[in-house]
Structure formats: C-alpha cells, structure tokens
Amino acid sequence: MTQNTQNYIAGEWMKGTSEVENRNPSDLSDLIGMYAQADHAQLEMALDAAHEAKMQWAKVGLEQRQSILHAIGEEMMARSAELGHLLAREEGKPLAEGKGEVFRAGQFFTYYAAEVLRQIGDTADSVRAGVEVHVAREPVGVVAIVSPWNFPTATAVWKIAPALAFGNAVIWKPANLVPASAVALAEIIDRQTANGLPKGLFNLVMGSGRDIGQRLIESPRVDAITFTGSVEVGKHIAVSAIGNLTKLQMEMGSKNALAVMDDGDLDIAVAAALGGAFGGTGQKCTASSRLVVHSAIHDEFVERLVAGAQAMVVDHALKEGTQIGPVVSDEQLQQNLESVALAKSEGAEWMCGGERVERDTEGYYMTPAVFIGSNNQMRVNREELFAPMTCVIKVDSYEEALATVNDTNFGLTSGIITNSLARATHFRHNAQTGCVMVNLATAGTDYHVPFGGRGDSSYGPREQGQYAAEFYTTVKTSYISA
C-alpha cells in the first residue's frame, strides 16, 4: 500500500505548502490521507530536473530502457489486486474494475517496453550525388501530462509509458480527486531509479488544475502537452498552448451512441448496452449515453434493458458483488441528478433509476437510470452526461439510426448491433467516430492500436500503439556528404 502523500520531484519526495483531503466516495468517514499540493517553486524544480534528466535518459542504452519499462509494468500487474483496491477506494469503481484498470496499465508499460526497440529510422538517396539522407525520430523533450479522475491510472499511463519509451521526460499533474493512485504509481516508477532511471525524468506534481495545472501548461519550458479531460478545460489549454506554440494532444468529452438494429442479437445488444452505459458507473468517455433502437425490437429491448439495470447491485466499491459503485464526488452526484431532472423536463419518459440511494455507509450512490421516448435534439442527448444514465431514441430504419449516431459535436466511439455484414460494413465506413464497434459495447479498447476521436472529442495526434510516436517524437532529417 502507498506510503507517501507527497509530490515526487527530481527523484525526491517533497511536502507541499498546503494539503488536500482525500476521502473514499463509498464511505465519507474513510479518510485516505492528506495529500501535498505542489507550489510554483516546486514546479520550476521539476522542470529543471526534467530538462537535465532527459539528457541522461538519452545516454541509457535501449535494452536498459526496456528493462526499466518492463519492470514497472510487471510490478503493476503483479500488484494489480492491491493497487486496484486503492483505486476503488479512492475513485469508487468496483474492485474488479479497479484491478482490471491497474493490470491494463501495467500492460501499457510492457507493450511500450517492446516499442523501445522498434524506433528505427529511414535512409534515402539525396537528389544530390554523393549525399545520403537519414530520417530519424527524436524525443520531443519535456512532456506535461494532465489527466482526469475517472481512469486515474490508465489515462495517465497511456501517456507516461510512451513518453518515457520514446525518450522524453515527464511532469505529471493528476486530477486532484485521485492523488493516492498517482502516488502509488510514482512509488513504482521511483523504484527504477535503482535500475538506471535518471532522477527527475519522471515528476509528480499534485495540486488543483486552476493553480498548478494552469502554471504547468502555460510554461514555455514545456515542449509538449498531453491532456485528457473535459472539452471546457481542453479549449482553455489549447489557447495557451497555441500562444506558446507548444505541441498539443487532447482527448476530451464524448456522446457515444450504440445503434441496435432489428436484425441484431438481442442478448448481445442488452449486454453491450448495460456494460456500455453503466460500466465505470457511466463515468467514462466511451459511455453509451445514447441507445438508438430500431422500432421493430424497441419494446423487447427496453424491457430487457430496464430489467438488467434494475438488477444491478449499487453498493460500496470494495464489497464483493458490487456492480456500480458510488460516483466520484458530491459535485458529480448533484450534476447527475440535474441530468435526470433535465431528461424529465425535456419530455423523456423515465423507466428506472436516477435516484440517490443510501447504503450502510455515507457515500455518493445513484441507481442506473434509463429513459425512453427521447429525441436527438434534447440537451440530454447532446451533452456529455458522465453518469450511470442512458436515453433510448427510437428510429424506423438503419439510415435514420446512422444519421442519429452521427448527429453530434463529438466523435469518439460508436457501435452497431447487427447480423448483417452489409450494414456492419456500411456503418464502419460511415460512422463519424474515431472508434467503431460492431456487436460490442462502445467501451473497451486495446492498447496496441490507436485510440481517439473526431470533432470535439479529440485534438492532435492519436494516442496508443505505434501511432503515439507521432506526438512523443519529432522528426530530424540529416544530410551527409560522403
């Protein structure tokens, strides 16, 4: 279990000038700890250390770099039950989801350990006789990472692992709601300083987004910013980054739709809808908050969906058998209850859930909500919910379903349930999203292939897989006269 509650800067654990309370959203009487908030001077120390350490990292042989990344990943996977417990305690996701997230994050490290050796350049003949051309990728430099609370370990690691693999230094500002899992990860990375990881290559600065986050993304000493979070904060970061001409990558909000066709398998459809809408308590960028359902199977689908939602166990995240934990904070709970009220006021028909519930412990529990009779012009179907809540939109044809799926400012994921190869293929080609799922939930993605969206969902190069090299490296072309 994590020992520290401090920032990790230049390879040292450091107190901040103030502290923030971290409580378990399943049980508000459970104080996880008081966590240090970095001040501006400490951020400058982290920047100094990162610039120095990236030069040392360049001198570390690739096999050693691989072994360091591998060791981090292996430790995360080996300790996924323990670290998943901490994550569940801090963020409120059920134990199995917490463990799964940490294990997957470990796999990111071992995957990027392999990528270390795939960084080979190109050569070309010059148009000039006697001149040879080399094209190589070099690290972009010092990378600022700003991550959200909903997948605190996974979203951070899918940035930290490629950043280090491709030769960069990192300054990580996690969401202030989830400092414990951040510190636990920093402790694992810190252990690798004994194995050659330069001190200062990885730095953890905790604090609020408005203060330390803002200062970090505004710093001219940052070479690249990668952000996952809300569109609102993303747009704000973009203005600052463009002002400094800082390289930028962002993954933001979404409004994913799952289309359920009359020729689809209803068992698959109901399972995909329940998992997509309510997995992660609906607090995920890939959540199926719109279910676009063909009228021919609408009533049967809704009956089974509602029965499934009502049967889900909403309870303390650390209890075995819990399927939906609490939402992360009181602010999020109030926002969710407002979304439920909004759906009702806009004329959607309430079927179940959307109510605050009391459990043995004081926490932020809400039952999974299903609405039907909604249309795609309702605000509730246009704005991201980030809640255990979904709205059914009834359509009469595949064409209407596709048009509805695409009628959004976002474009992260979409899905279709169909047994028609022709429809699946047409949907794959015409859905305006970065990820498309056929006969699967809109959630659940792999780590070795790109992840990202279109529209307001994403900005800049894709994350994950080999595509991450686009963001974490910069290309150098050398001309050599023999």
Binding flags for ligand TAP, 408-447, as an x/- string (CB under 6 A): ----x-----------------------------------
Among 155, 192, 249, 336, binds ligand TAP (CB under 6 A): 155
Token duo for residue 468? 């991450």
When CB distances to ligand TAP are compared, the closest residue is 209
- The tokens for 372 are 């039907």
CB nearer to ligand TAP: give 45 or 237: 237
Residue 181 near ligand TAP by CB under 6 A: no
Is 285 an annotated catalytic residue?
A: yes
**Shortest Cβ 310–ligand TAP spacing (Å):** 26
Specify the stretch interacting with ligand TAP by CB under 6 A; choose among 5-13, 94-102, 202-210, 305-313: 202-210
* 3-state DSSP assignment of residue 129: coil
Is 278 a binding residue for ligand TAP by CB under 6 A? The answer is no
Round to whole Å and give the CA distance between 342 and 337.
9
Helix H or strand E encompassing 172: strand 169-173
8-state DSSP, 382:
T
| Amino acid, single-letter form, for residue 100 | G
**208 interacts with ligand TAP by CB under 6 A:** yes
> For ligand TAP, which is the closer residue by CB, 170 or 285?
285
What is the sign of the dihedral through the CA atoms of 393, 398, 401 and 403? negative
Cα–Cα distance, 271 to 276 (Å, whole number): 8
217 versus 370: smaller Cβ distance to ligand TAP: 217
From 90, 115, 285, 391, the catalytic residue? 285
Partnered with residue 390 across adjacent β-strands are: 370
CA dihedral sign of residues 3, 107, 111, 425: negative
200: alpha, beta or left? (left if phi > 0; alpha if psi -120 to 50): left
213 counts as binding ligand TAP under rule CB under 6 A: yes
Nearer to ligand TAP, 15 or 210 (CB): 210
| 217 sits in which H/E element | helix 214-218
The stretch near ligand TAP (CB under 6 A) out of 188-196, 245-253, 264-272, 347-355 is 245-253
Does 152 bind ligand TAP (CB under 6 A)? Our answer is no
Helix (H, G, I), strand (E, B) or coil at 407: coil
Q: Which stretch binds ligand TAP (CB under 6 A): 168-176, 241-249, 269-277, 387-395?
A: 168-176
Considering only CA atoms, give the Rg of the chain: 23
Q: Which of 80, 249, 254, 413 binds ligand TAP (CB under 6 A)?
A: 254
Indicate the residue among 145 and 424 with the shorter CB distance to ligand TAP: 145
Residue 214 makes contact with ligand TAP by CB under 6 A? yes
Indicate whether 35 belongs to the interface with ligand TAP (CB under 6 A): no
CA quadruple 330, 332, 333, 334: dihedral positive or negative? positive
Residue 175 touches ligand TAP, criterion: CB under 6 A: yes
Site for ligand TAP in 325-384 (CB under 6 A): 384
Spatial distance between the Cα atoms of 87 and 174, rounded to a whole number of angstroms:
13
**How far lies 104's CA from each of 344, 391, 418, in Å?**
38, 30, 29
Residues in the chain: 482
Question: What are the residues facing 224 on neighbouring strands?
Answer: 143, 247
- The closest of 209, 213, 217 to 238, measured between CA atoms, is 217
Query: Smallest gap, in angstroms, from Cβ of residue 144 to ligand TAP?
Result: 9
- Cα end-to-end span (Å), the chain: 58
Count of positions on this chain that bind ligand TAP (CB under 6 A)? 32
Give the residue with the Cβ less far from ligand TAP, 155 or 192. 155
d(CA 446, CA 110): 14
Judged by CB under 6 A, which of 285, 317, 351, 435 binds ligand TAP? Answer: 285
Apex CA 252: angle with CA 251 and CA 255, to 5°?
Answer: 125
DSSP 462: P
Give the count of beta carbons closer than 10 Å to the beta carbon of residue 190: 19
Tokens in use for 50?
A: 């990162």
* Residue closer to ligand TAP (CB basis): 205 or 401: 205
> Which residue among 209, 326, 363, 411 contacts ligand TAP (CB under 6 A)?
209
Write down the catalytic residue from 91, 97, 115, 251.
251
150 binds ligand TAP (CB under 6 A): yes
Q: Does 253 bind ligand TAP (CB under 6 A)?
A: yes
- Nearest distance from C-beta of residue 471 to ligand TAP, angstroms: 14
206 closest CA partner among 2, 472, 17: 17
386 scored as a contact of ligand TAP (CB under 6 A): yes
Catalytic residue at 352?
no
Stretch that binds ligand TAP, among 5-13, 94-102, 174-182, 366-374 (CB under 6 A): 174-182
Residues near ligand TAP, by CB under 6 A: 146-151, 155, 173-176, 208-210, 213-214, 217, 228-230, 233, 236-237, 251-254, 285, 384, 386, 412, 457
**Which residues are part of the catalytic machinery?**
251, 285
